[in-house]
Amino acid sequence: MESQTILADYDRQFSWHNYNQSQTKEKALFVNILGDLCDLVIETRSVKGRKPRPLKDIIFSIVLKEYLNTSSRRVQSDLKLFAEAGFINSEIPFNTLLDHLEKRELKDVLRELIEISSLPLKQIESDFAIDATGFATSRYETYFNFKYKKQARWRNFRKCHAVCGVKTNIITSVDITEGYTNDQTKFIPLAEDTARNFKIREFSADKGYLSTKNYNLIGELGGKAFIPFKKNATGKTRICGVRKDIYRNAFMFFQKHREEFLNKYHKRSNIESCFSMIKRKFGNNVRCKKETSQDNEILAKVLAHNICILVQEIFLNNIEINFNKCMNTYIGK
């Protein structure tokens, strides 16, 4: 009953006044929410050597850098102000930030914080969409172009695979891979990551994710998948050891109720909007040169996006943000 009330409240008419309030007060609320999230970070104990910088201060500084869409050098003056305000213990030098961006363990921490940051909207989101997008890097690869008989080059990129809630565009699960990784490989793990903390009702994806296994997985998780079928699809499958009725029933629904199917599938456009929001606000490229640093940089952009969504929902739908309460219900890997 409580979730139905929240959903009903969510569907109220859009208020430009509340939206304007969220945008004008975003920066102040952003740093407060980010600080609350960073307080959840568990610090690692140092046995030998110099005492390391607190991990929560590192994460706060990196995410703030991406939110301001500036370099690690130019963010120094901002970090000094936030250190004086008590958000971090002390100003962190830019080379220290760059050193921590190269750490692989930071990737797991950022992914976990992204999942936790989506939990305040748990009662709102039940329909989800999945897709992937590329972030350009500063590195290039050369190749010989046989058509023009000369050397050419292309820019390398990293691929961000993500699942978002279609009502608020909050990202519920994410992973970063090489640019040419097949999108299919991330459907199952990301859908399962979302299902750990959200109840899935509908799950939309484009034709690139079409497979019997993907349809079965969403069915097993208690939802319905809306992945359009290709022209040569017959509704039959030769894969052994899997249920075929879910895939076959979906194909029949696609054939007989095409308009209704496409209306459900159209929710997938929200993941495109989500990627557009991130790139327009925080940039469509990464500054770091090493792959691990690039991955952490993209994850910091995603976390900044989620916090901005929370700020917006505070004003539009009066949501309450209590990460300590969220941690009591959070199911990690």
Q: Domain end: 240, 269, 298, which one?
A: 269
Q: Is the pTM of this model over 0.85?
A: yes
Q: Domain end: 237, 269, 301, which one?
A: 269
Q: Domain containing 217: what range?
A: 127-269
- Residue 13 DSSP one-character state: P
What does the alpha-carbon distance between residue 143 and residue 150 come to, in Å, rounded to a whole number? 9
What does the alpha-carbon distance between residue 328 and residue 273 come to, in Å, rounded to a whole number? 31
| Residues 150 and 241 occupy one common structural domain | yes
- Residue-level pLDDT, tens digit, the chain, 333 residues: 444 444 444 555 678 888 898 899 999 999 999 999 999 998 877 667 778 889 999 999 999 999 999 999 999 999 999 999 999 998 899 999 999 999 999 999 999 999 999 999 999 999 999 999 999 887 766 656 666 667 766 678 899 999 999 999 999 999 999 988 999 999 999 999 999 999 999 999 999 999 899 999 999 999 999 999 988 887 777 665 567 788 888 999 999 999 999 999 999 999 999 999 999 999 999 999 899 999 999 999 999 999 999 999 999 888 989 998 999 889 887
Q: Is 202 helix (H, G, I), strand (E, B) or coil?
A: strand
| Residues 93 and 135 occupy one common structural domain | no
What is the 3-state secondary structure of 225-238?
Answer: EECCCCCCCCCCCC
Taking Cα atoms as reference points, which of 101, 6, 8, 125 lies closest to residue 53? Answer: 101
The first and second tokens of residue 128, run together, are: 């989800």
Residue 153 lies in a domain: yes
| Residues 247 and 145 occupy one common structural domain | yes
Question: Are 44 and 109 within 8 A, CB to CB?
Answer: no
What is the 3-state secondary structure of 127-193?
Answer: EEEEEEEEEEEEEEEEEEECCCCEEEEEEEEEEEEEEEECCCCCEEEEEEEECCCCHHHHHHHHHHH
What does the alpha-carbon distance between residue 170 and residue 316 come to, in Å, rounded to a whole number? 14
Segment (H or E) for 110: helix 105-118
| Residues 186 and 226 occupy one common structural domain | yes
| Residues 191 and 158 occupy one common structural domain | yes
